[in-house]
Amino acid sequence: MEKQRGHVIVLTYPAQGHINPLLQFAKRLASKGLKATLATTHYTINSIQSTTVGIEPISDGYDEGGFKQAPSLEVYLESFKTVGSRTLAELILKFSESTSPVNCIVYDLLVPWAVDVARQFNIYAAVFMTNSASVCSLYWHIDRGNLSFPVKPETLPLLVPGLPPLDLSELPSFLAQPGNHSAYLAIIMEKFGCLEENDWVFCNSFEELESELVKAMSGLWPFVMIGPMVPSAYLDQQIDGDTTYGASLWNPTTECLIWLEAKPANSVIYISFGSMADIQPKQLEEIAWGLKNSGKHFLWVAKEPEKRLPNEFLNSIGETGLVIPWCDQLEVLGNQAVGCFVTHCGWNSTLEGLSLGVPMVGLPQWSDQPANAKFMEVRGVGVRAKRNEEGIVTRENLEMSIKEVMDGGKSGEIRRNALKWRETAKKAVSIDGSSDKNINEFVEKLVKGEG
Ligand code: UDP
């Protein structure tokens, strides 16, 4: 029986912002001749489709309801580690007798135990960072003892090689408020303490986007930039077989695309806070009136609007706006009508905004988002909305930021910068672009069996 070399299992954490880039990476590998299988939890598997990548389930111990059924994040992560390690090993064994045995696991930073499974089978291991390299460099410096943690007020603003000076409000929340979500920080720091045990460390970014950081870290760390992991069709390429992410944990509303079609170019605000952020009622109210007062058309992704948004606002929208529970974000960002993306600056959303050339207003919430918002502003593709002393972006501040990006004196320059980054992102993923070359090197080594 002739065995095919180069079968990669890509293991994702079961959240939208993780499935999207990892599935996309699997598709990119498949397009380059590798066999690629995405491993995900039972609870998420039915939300994922691909014509080029195999999709296989493993268990996190919560097959019926996923993460929400676990009593706490800590319990969930522990269960995923125990049950996930066992079921991932079973999946590898299943393929071992086939014509395409697995010879590499690419795993999400949030499932760090996958490296032990790879070692157990003596196959390659590659960790996939769903954060920017800039954010990763903060964790790396803390691990190496170059930055004190918890952050000392007298060291602010932080001066980190290759990054702009960073205030506390511009750091990932795991570092700025280390008490919150400490289980995530623990996982991240554990992995940064042993990056060398991986054969590859991939980062969903591109060298040109973070060029100063790449220069500052050159020779110091093993990061390989392979992004942006956005379906190539949105970057005017035809690299991947599928033209969408092919994964949606919620049903996208399609009427918004028809609604957008009738609107003039660059006239609509698209606003979304991704899949995980929990926006407080007071902040939601300010956003609602900020959008309304801007006088622009807006398309807002908000779950349970009747329960969570002011009635007076919902009754006053009329034809001006549309509030929907979920959409195909790339289709929306790619629509000619959208002229501004009010975003929580999740890393995928930030990359998508850059890749589609849409100016942004950042309203970061938690995790790496505050840092992403800062870097987005530094790159001149938008502004961060200012918060008041209570940490709220008031309606006036949101309106001001929207106007700055869409109509203000700097709006032309912001739009030009956004389009410039779109072109740069396109180059990075096109044939022989920086990210494409990096992926090719990986594929070649895998097929030849070198590591
Ligand atoms: N997304 C989507 N439809 C929506 C909102 C978001 O398809 O209505 C997608 C978006 O394209 C992105 C992902 O969900 O790929 C969210 O990832 P991100 O890192 O931006 O934020 P997270 O959800 O992890 O906070």
* Rounded distance from Cα 23 to ligand 1 centre (Å): 14
* Rounded distance from Cα 350 to ligand 1 centre (Å): 10
* pLDDT score of 213 more than 60: yes
* pLDDT score of 4 more than 80: no
Per-residue model confidence (pLDDT) at position 240: 82
* pLDDT score of 451 more than 50: no
Residue 57 pLDDT level (bands cut at 50, 70, 90):
very high
Alpha carbon distances (Å) from 243 to 231, 330, 369: 6, 10, 27
* pLDDT score of 1 more than 60: no
Residue holding tokens 């790879």?
118
Residue 197 pLDDT level (bands cut at 50, 70, 90):
very high
Residue 2 pLDDT level (bands cut at 50, 70, 90):
low
Residue 448 pLDDT level (bands cut at 50, 70, 90):
confident
Q: Which atom of ligand 1 is nearest to the CA of 350?
A: 20
- Mean pLDDT (the chain, rounded): 95
Helix/strand/coil (H/E/C) assignment for every residue in 92-121: HHHHHCCCCCCCEEEEECCCCCHHHHHHHC
- Residues with a known catalytic role: 18, 108
The stretches of 6-126 forming alpha helices (DSSP H) are 16-31, 42-45, 73-96, 114-120
Q: Which atom of ligand 1 is nearest to the CA of 343?
A: 20
Q: Is 347 in the pocket of ligand 1 (CB under 6 A)?
A: yes
Q: Is 348 in the pocket of ligand 1 (CB under 6 A)?
A: yes
* pLDDT score of 5 more than 90: no
CB neighbour list of residue 106: distance below 8 Å, 6 or more residues apart? 8, 9, 10, 11, 22, 25, 26, 126, 127, 128, 200, 202
Q: Is 276 in the pocket of ligand 1 (CB under 6 A)?
A: yes
Among 19-28, 125-134, 178-187, 327-336, where is mean pLDDT lowest?
A: 178-187
pLDDT digits (tens, 9 = 90+) for 371-426: 999 999 999 999 999 999 999 999 999 999 999 999 999 999 999 999 999 999 99
Q: Which of 12, 13, 16 to mutate to test the pocket of ligand 1 (most atoms within 8 A of CB)?
A: 16
* Rounded distance from Cα 450 to ligand 1 centre (Å): 35
CB neighbour list of residue 107: distance below 8 Å, 6 or more residues apart? 10, 11, 114, 115, 118, 125, 126, 127, 128
pLDDT average, residue stretch 23-29: 97
Residue 247 has what DSSP assignment? B
**What is the pTM (predicted TM-score) of this model?**
0.97
CB neighbour list of residue 98: distance below 8 Å, 6 or more residues apart? none
Residue 310 pLDDT level (bands cut at 50, 70, 90):
very high
Per-residue model confidence (pLDDT) at position 10: 98
pLDDT digits (tens, 9 = 90+) for 58-92: 999 999 999 999 999 999 999 999 999 999 999 99
Residue holding tokens 């870290």?
217
* pLDDT score of 450 more than 60: no
Q: Is 275 in the pocket of ligand 1 (CB under 6 A)?
A: yes
Query: Which residue's CA is the nearest one to ligand 1's atom 5?
Result: 274
pLDDT digits (tens, 9 = 90+) for 263-292: 999 999 999 999 998 899 999 999 999 999
* Rounded distance from Cα 330 to ligand 1 centre (Å): 9
* pLDDT score of 3 more than 70: no
pLDDT digits (tens, 9 = 90+) for 37-53: 999 999 999 999 999 99
Domains of the chain listed by start with CATH number: 7-246+431-448 (3.40.50.2000), 254-424 (3.40.50.2000)
Q: Is 272 in the pocket of ligand 1 (CB under 6 A)?
A: yes
168: exposed, middle or buried (Cβ count in 10 Å: 0-12, 13-18, 19+):
middle
* pLDDT score of 143 more than 90: yes
Q: Is 355 in the pocket of ligand 1 (CB under 6 A)?
A: no
Position 290, amino acid: G
Cα 108 to Cα 89: distance, rounded to the nearest angstrom: 16
Q: Is 246 in the pocket of ligand 1 (CB under 6 A)?
A: no
* Rounded distance from Cα 356 to ligand 1 centre (Å): 14
Per-residue model confidence (pLDDT) at position 16: 97
Per-residue model confidence (pLDDT) at position 366: 94
Q: Is 210 in the pocket of ligand 1 (CB under 6 A)?
A: no
Q: What ipTM does this complex have?
A: 0.99
* Rounded distance from Cα 363 to ligand 1 centre (Å): 14
pLDDT digits (tens, 9 = 90+) for 340-383: 999 999 999 999 999 999 999 999 999 999 999 999 999 999 99
Cα 53 to Cα 413: distance, rounded to the nearest angstrom: 40
Residue 252 pLDDT level (bands cut at 50, 70, 90):
very high
Residue 273 near residue 301 (C-beta atoms within 8 A)? yes
Which of 411, 449, 414, 362 is CA-nearest to residue 104? 449
Which of 140, 73, 58 is CA-nearest to residue 105? 58
